[in-house]
Structure 1
């Protein structure tokens, strides 16, 4: 066959191919919880086993997760703030920050545009929906393993990279029309906040300024989770129990409760605070600190009345970055708990182990 004919035929049919692909995506998008949840009973495929479902018991909230006023770190109370962050990171692996320097208007605009995205008509989101795990910017439901998982999560997710910003912004959702402008500004401020917190942690650990710069904090990813009202929140989960595999997470959780942290075998609810961010320690910080900081297991529960939208900003090392306990943190009477490894090696194992807390870190531990 004439190659030129093949090219012309392909070019001529290209609009039809795009249309067919979009129609296929719209059909696939029927899997999204937000497309079918209204007036439905909870499907069996969303009901978790009794030992992992949240149940109806009341979770303690608000008074146990430390709240850090970052404005005090700019004045004479800096040492006290550093110590508060260290203690929270060791005991809970979680804390909230207020007076963090991120404009309240920007925070509100960002949350509003996230909500607007999930409220878009199906045809406007069809180009973003994908079940291809290698696609960097994609909308999906439950988890990346929807077709093979035993139980589905009650959530829809949008995930995309934020670094390098000039390149990544080109693949972000084109709608809502202000999404790229607002989220670009937000991602810059979230990264600044994350580096500021890492700087305070570095100071407290005695690692010196700039320790967590460059490759250790090079990669940034934004993960939006949308949890529609659920017919029976006692039987399902928005996100199952896990630890984050990255360095540090900055969570914008909005004004609807749903985050729970596991401490001493008990679930603690994290109450939403006005214009606050939730910060949690990832596996890599736990490893670098030689277990002086804690990566805590956490989950998201649902509710029956209102939708909840959250945004997790993940700060991670580059794939080829070497991770190991900081040598200056290894005292004469202790040994490193972990061996050196490339971050991508950890990620592969984390995904294979489906985020299991112990199995994710076990291959990287030094024994004896």
Structure 2
């Protein structure tokens, strides 16, 4: 079977259907079905199908760094933490943080609320449907040029610059207590933002800059959002994918995954599964930080695999500058040996292109912003 021969036509029909309720119903019917074979629209190309392998060589394991060193009275501990994080971002683009200061009970509460949200009937979830060509609400993750559907549901919310969390919560839980969901999510995102600001300072120091050099990107009109991702058990997981290979366009991504494996990172020309650690957050550099670092930090490909027995939940938070902010590497990072790679652009300009060009397919996203020499 040629995996793309039929899927492109099927997917085009799905994406062109502006009846979001019908689209999501079709998706959920497939996700809930235990029958085989897998509907063709979910069959991934053979060379793109993930294999979940937890036997990771030590040299390719995503580093775990201890954030408790920030409270050490010894300045050498902070310098060592900066070095560890900078090294990880230069080599892997990813690292994990433990002793991060986010309340474990709050993480569990947020996961509980996410599961409750996904367990709502479709007609209730459709109250917050994500219309085509928009970012926030409930629905399937779809990119313009993808040729298969992801085996997943998602729900995307924004805390800054203007929160839509209470509005969404009021629609979803109108018959119960909407404040429980909204207050939990807002508290969780608030703690994640605090962690993100600490990491931003450490990453900035790792470039040899003053820790506040990029602070203006996360002040007034900053953007902070979160996406719940639910990957149900799949009847033929060897044929499907939860989320296709991509880089994040953002400044920073901070993700919490539950105890079910699924996240994979492309390292040294191979896919490496990140072993779940509920006590950790997984942090990755986005495209914007790769630009700000003049490519010293790497925004790397990652994806989500699915399995046949367990559902998997991840909570992904994204930190970004205001849409009007100009993104450009500082002059200190531009030398004869490391010339400027990208032209200046606004986050709004980059975001408008980010999901039009699949980053695993020829690098169109980055190439459009290279500096012409």
> Do the two structures share a fold, i.e. TM-score over 0.5?
yes
2:106 paired residue number: 106
1:359 counterpart residue number = 364
In structure 2, the residue matched to 1:37 is 32
| CA distance in structure 1 between the partners assigned to 2:92 and 2:288 by the alignment | 16
Aligned ranges for residues 143-162 of structure 1 at < 5 Å?
143=142, 145=144, 149-162=146-159
CA apart distance, 1:367: 4.5
Unmatched runs of 5 consecutive residues or more in structure 2: 1-18
> Partner of 2:48: helix, strand, or coil?
coil
Map of 2:87 onto structure 1: 87
1:51 aligns to what SS in structure 2? helix
Deviations 1:88-109, CA, capped at 9 Å, x for gaps? 0000000110000001111110
Task: Give 1:329 deviation, angstroms.
Answer: 1.5
Residue 124 (structure 1) aligned with residue 119 (structure 2)? no
> Counterpart in 1 of 2:4?
none
CA distance in 2, matches of 1:25, 1:329: 46
Q: Decide whether the 8 Å contact of 2:265 with 2:274 is kept in 1.
A: yes
CA positional deviation for 1:26: 5.2
Q: Is the 8 A contact 1:107 1:275 kept in 2?
A: no
Structure-2 residue corresponding to 1:250: 254
Q: Decide whether aligned partners of structure 1 residues 283 and 27 sit closer, same or farther in structure 2, where only a CA change above 3 A counts.
A: closer
Cα RMSD after superposing both structures: 2.1
Note the 1:164-313 alignment, pairs <5 A: 164=161, 167-174=163-170, 175-176=172-173, 177=178, 178-216=180-218, 218-313=222-317
1:13-52 equivalence runs, <5 A: 27-33=22-28, 36-41=31-36, 42-52=38-48
Asked if structure 2 preserves the Cα contact closer than 8 Å seen for 1:68 and 1:95, the reply is yes
Offset, 1:31? 2.4
* Cα displacement string for residues 69-95 of structure 1 (whole angstroms, at most 9, x for unaligned residues): 100122131111110000000000001
Secondary structure of 1:244's aligned partner: coil
Structure 2 distance, partners of 1:36, 1:290, is 41
Question: Which residue does the alignment assign to 2:137?
Answer: 138
CA contact (8 A) 2:20 2:131 kept: no
Say if 1:144 and 1:358 are closer, same or farther in 2 by CA, change over 3 A: closer
Q: Judging changes above 3 Å, is the alpha-carbon distance between structure 1 residues 225 and 34 closer, same or farther for their aligned structure 2 residues?
A: farther
- Deviating above 4 A after TM superposition, structure 1's stretches of 4 or more consecutive aligned residues are 24-28
Q: Which has the larger radius of gyration?
A: 1
Structure 1 residues 287-296 or 120-129, which shifts more? 120-129
CA offsets per residue over residues 256-311 of structure 1, 9 Å max, x none? 11000001110111011132100000011011101110101000000111111111
Q: Report if the CA contact (8 A) 1:34-1:156 is conserved.
A: no
Which 10-residue stretch deviates more, 238-247 or 325-334? 325-334
- The answer as to whether partners of 1:142 and 1:154 remain within 8 angstroms in 2 is no
Shift of 1:341: 1.0
Greater Cα shift, 71-80 or 208-217: 208-217
Say how many residue pairs are matched. 340
Change (3 A) 1:37 1:160: same
**Alpha carbons 1:216, 1:321 under 8 Å: kept:** no
Contact 1:29–1:35 under 8 Å retained in 2? no
Equivalent-residue separation in structure 2 for 1:327 and 1:163 (angstroms): 29
Q: Deviations over 1:137-178 (max 9, x none)?
A: 311124255xx842111011111211135x433332334531
**Aligned partner of residue 227 in structure 2, secondary structure:** strand
Following TM superposition, by how much is the alpha carbon of 1:112 offset from its aligned partner in structure 2, in angstroms? Answer: 1.0
TM-score w.r.t. the length of structure 1 is: 0.86
The secondary structure found in structure 2 opposite 1:162 is strand
